[in-house]
Structure 1
Amino acid sequence: MESRIWANIQERFADFVVLQGDVVHKLRVKGMVKGFLFKRKAQGVLEQLQQGAEPKEVGGTLETMPAGAIVKAEVSPGNGSLTLHSQDGAKLDFSTPNSDADVILAAILEKAGRSFSPAQEEIGAVEAALPPMFLGLIAGLFWAAVYDSASKLAAGEEIVVKGRRQGLQKLTIWVADLLGYNGVLAIGAVLGALLLGWLVMRLVKRPLRTVWLPATA
């Protein structure tokens, strides 16, 4: 049986979506090693699938969903992932590195045995808040390190660079010396206000994602 295969190979895991007839399989393969060695293993799995091996025969965690059981499908705002919902409440998702989730979904829905119509819906509150919160966490940690250096410099303390991440320590000292104590406080306030404004904007006017629902007569 001819199959269509899409792969997402990362450092420690690989996901494969196999459209086999009118059945969708998602296979996740993990490894104890990472990087080049794991990617070689994942490439081997991909080659087995391309040569006609059954998904259940190549190892890994397997999820299966008949295309005819799909009652709703979603594509993320950036077209980087898709989610399938079946009539029994099961869910199957896949992230693609090629921003072609809509193309993959179109191929799957062709096998559903009925037509689907696209619509737009707002993403959830948690999903909307994640980007500002993630960026805020990273920026907050860096600002805290710069603030610590600025406080020590303002107090006339000598800062000794040692241990791991010495390059990052030198960077925080340089930024603290450049901005000064008051400058660091001002930058922190502005950064916090911008992140809060971005968060509020995304919660009030949430990004839209495309969903596909069975077409009504």
Structure 2
Amino acid sequence: MTQVCLNGPRGSADGAVVPLTPETMAASAAGAVAAGATDVHAHPKTPCGQDTLSPRVLAVTLAAIRDRVPASVPVGVTTGAWAEPDPDARVARIRSWTVLPDHASVNWHEPGAERVAAALLDRGVGVEAGIRSGTDAAARFARSPLGPKVLRVLAEVTDTDPATAEASAHALLSGLGTAHGRPLLLHGEDGGAWPVLRLAGRLGLATRIGLEDTLLLPDGRRAESNARLVAAGLAEWRSARGHRH
């Protein structure tokens, strides 16, 4: 599985290629799926470009994306605390959604993560458990009774140094242990995005790529679209898979 992460918490300062409106997210998702992405992760935005869990914005964004990608392609969203810092308000937002995503990511190190995950599961939304390196998320997840119920684990490497990101990824995977037997998606960010993606290829793990994780192609050039990142990511993943040891 290759997930495209369309935008993340990035904004207009990161360049015009980052999709911020429902229409541009939908067009970007369509291009990425045509390039080979099999799953979509988006951050719905307010008109001023801030991440939001608003049911109205979520409904419009999901409708726009689903209108442009095949019905077989799941579409997910974030529930990051930066979009709604108060855990109670975050849960209330989820309970107020009128249109549901196929899945939503929950950062397990954030306050209220288990309640957020439980609210999603109660509504029939798949949970992507975000386990970030440099946090206690792996230990929390190992103890969680919800662990066996999540859709997948997002092993998120926050080390952005290309020289050390792979080692950080190995440490994160080791810390995850069996991860309750759930499927793993391994990815990095910024300078660590491509080394970690190649490692995912060598290990045969699902991965993701997109403008949330990096603005640059493997050769250091600025990416002009999510579709270009997905095409490059698939090529890198397959090449690494072919050269695994």
Q: TM-score, normalized by length of structure 2?
A: 0.22
Q: Which has the larger strand fraction?
A: 1
Q: TM-score, normalized by length of structure 1?
A: 0.24
